[in-house]
A and B are shown apart, each in its own frame.
Chain A
């Protein structure tokens, strides 16, 4: 357990130090929102309508661009070999890596969402459900993404390949997340059901992604 927390603490620290991915992901998130706002134009009512889907898509993309940082630096400096050699349960190590990624992207993006949602003129009633869906859904994004990162850990330029592999697997989380955010904003009764499906997707990823990541990591070591 102390090893689990140590890995998380190490990765979180690294992500916030110079060259880390955390602030890059956050900036990318904000810049994507600005791009969408510029593309839509100053139509405030249209903006408030699509605010939640845009924020969800932007959060997904920001998660995506930082995935390569999970395993590749560790593989390059050799610490990945140490991690694999020394861990009792490799799946747990993989889970810790994904958790650290979530803290430095998903949690950070969710924290920044209220401000960016204001820029998109979001309605007051929509903000709460949006934050809830992001908080429940982004762990799933990090977990599935960490699997793709483990799969491509040995490849020198895996960025685009990770995107191709991971975006199809993200589809259910995006659909349930945006569905729940929309239903919650409108006060519809499906809100709870969609939220439960979103939570189920994240939990499902929490079970299978570390196992699959561990298998992939073993085959990525020489």
Chain B
């Protein structure tokens, strides 16, 4: 594999210096947006006429479910970019997105279960969307397991990218599974051709929470990418100080 090591090395360094400056702003935005979103969701929005106060679970649950899909899509796009242009930062972005996305997916499953108990009378229903989000969670785990299983970082990046792109085929299946199979889960109620079917007073906290989740994702991604780049540099430095400086180029 032809690699220009100067290009590979210089670009992540530039990313590091930019990321260090950007991180406080993103992290601050995440804190502020979360605080505002939680305030609106808990205190400044109406209770549902059918679901009562438990509708407030929606403000945690729906953005998490969106982020579960969004993170997987980002991972697949970053993987494709890393696969096509062999850009090391894209590989790192894809790798570091996976655990964040898995956490959002788990949050969506957990809050969905808490919401399902009062609404459906069951913690878990094997309906289409729940099942496919659970499948999505295991797809994240498979992707992370593949990264961990392969010692050579460059090869792991290529193979994991192929897996992410193949798995991405399943994301539309998840999105439209509600329409394909009969289910307990309510159909999509925000992104509809005839406009949203939920009240505007509920949309404000919902969109605030979505923005907050997005900021949390970006902040965590920047931090963990920095972490990964630094730990790779430490590994490189240790190799360089060790007995075999020739392997330095390899990693």
Contacts and interface: CB of A to CB of B under 8 A. Distances in A.
Interface in B82-137: 131-132, 135-136
Interface string B168-194: 011001000000010000000000000
B132 A219 contact: no
B240 interface: no
B145 interface: yes
Nearest to A167: B138
Interface string B136-155: 10110110011001100001
A216 B165 CA distance: 12
Contact of A161 (B135, B146, B181): B146
B173 A169 contact: no
**Chain A, interface SS category:** helix
Contacts of B166: 147, 169, 208, 212
B162 interface: yes
A151 B163 contact: yes
A108 interface: no
Given A208-B169, A212-B162, A168 B146 contact: no
Contacts of B132: 171
B159 A220 contact: yes
A165 B142 contact: yes
A176 to B, nearest CB: 10
B236 interface: no
Task: Tell which of B131, B149, B158, B169 has the most Cβ of chain A within 10 Å.
Answer: B149
B46 interface: no
A168 B105 CA distance: 15
A214 B191 CA distance: 38
A215 B84 CA distance: 12
**Chain B, interface SS category:** helix
Interface string A135-171: 0000000000001000110110010010011011101
A204 B173 CA distance: 13
A187 interface: no
A167 to B, nearest CB: 7
Given A152-B146, A169-B167, A164 B162 contact: no
Question: How many of chain A's residues touch chain B, expressed as a range?
Answer: 20 to 34
Question: How many of chain B's residues touch chain A, expressed as a range?
Answer: 20 to 34
B159 A164 contact: no
Contacts of B173: 172
A164 B149 CA distance: 12
A164 B138 contact: yes
Contacts of A171: 131-132, 135, 170
Contacts of B169: 204, 208
B145 A164 contact: yes
A167 B138 CA distance: 9
Given A155-B149, A155-B150, A165-B146, A215 B162 contact: yes
Interface in A64-120: none
Contacts of B141: 164
B158 A219 contact: yes
A-B pairs with lowest CB-CB distance, top 10: A165-B142, A219-B158, A164-B142, A168-B139, A168-B135, A168-B138, A171-B135, A212-B166, A216-B162, A164-B145
Interface of B: 131-132, 135-136, 138-139, 141-142, 145-146, 149-150, 155, 158-159, 162-163, 165-167, 169-170, 173, 181
Given A171-B170, A175-B181, 19 more contacts: A151-B146, A151-B159, A151-B162, A152-B149, A161-B142, A161-B145, A161-B149, A164-B142, A164-B145, A167-B138, A168-B167, A169-B139, A169-B167, A171-B135, A204-B169, A212-B162, A216-B159, A219-B162, A220-B155
26 contacts: A147-B166, A151-B146, A151-B163, A152-B149, A154-B150, A155-B149, A158-B149, A161-B145, A161-B146, A161-B149, A164-B138, A164-B141, A167-B138, A168-B135, A168-B138, A168-B139, A168-B170, A171-B131, A171-B170, A172-B173, A208-B166, A212-B162, A212-B165, A212-B166, A216-B159, A219-B162
